[in-house]
Amino acid sequence: MLRFLAVGLGNTAFGYSVYVLAVVAGLTPQLALILQFVLGVLWNYTLHARLVFSVNGWTRFPLYIGAYLLIYTINATSLRILLAEGIGPLLAQLLILPFIVALSWLLIGRVMGFRHVGRVR
């Protein structure tokens, strides 16, 4: 669990940094979010697989992508709602992050297999 939290913190920092840099560079918030998720899914899978769940290879990657598509859809919808309420793009995404992190913990844990943490395959 501690490894999942530590990796999650790193993944969240990476993803939010990509988002912020993209918005500051002039991308719309939704395009920045897409970029964040595309880069994040590869980065996050590698760290989750190796450091948290001891999963070798890419066999769970399709399910991982599916989980991330659901997470992205919820994030994008939430972002659209907050932007429509007049909240700036950086603050809006920052407000959404705690919910996305909790959702990620639930979905990624199921996809990667919490019950197998620490076992090498």
Opening angle at CA 14, ends 113 and 84, nearest 5: 100
Question: Reduced to 3 states, what is the DSSP secondary structure of residue 35?
Answer: helix
The CA-to-CA distance between both ends of the chain, in Å, stands at 19
pLDDT tens per residue, range 31-65: 999 999 999 898 899 998 988 888 888 999 999 99
Given the structure tokens 């809006």, which residue do they identify? 92
The tens digit of pLDDT for each residue in 69-115 reads: 999 999 999 999 999 999 999 999 999 999 998 998 899 989 987 65
Amino acid at 108: I
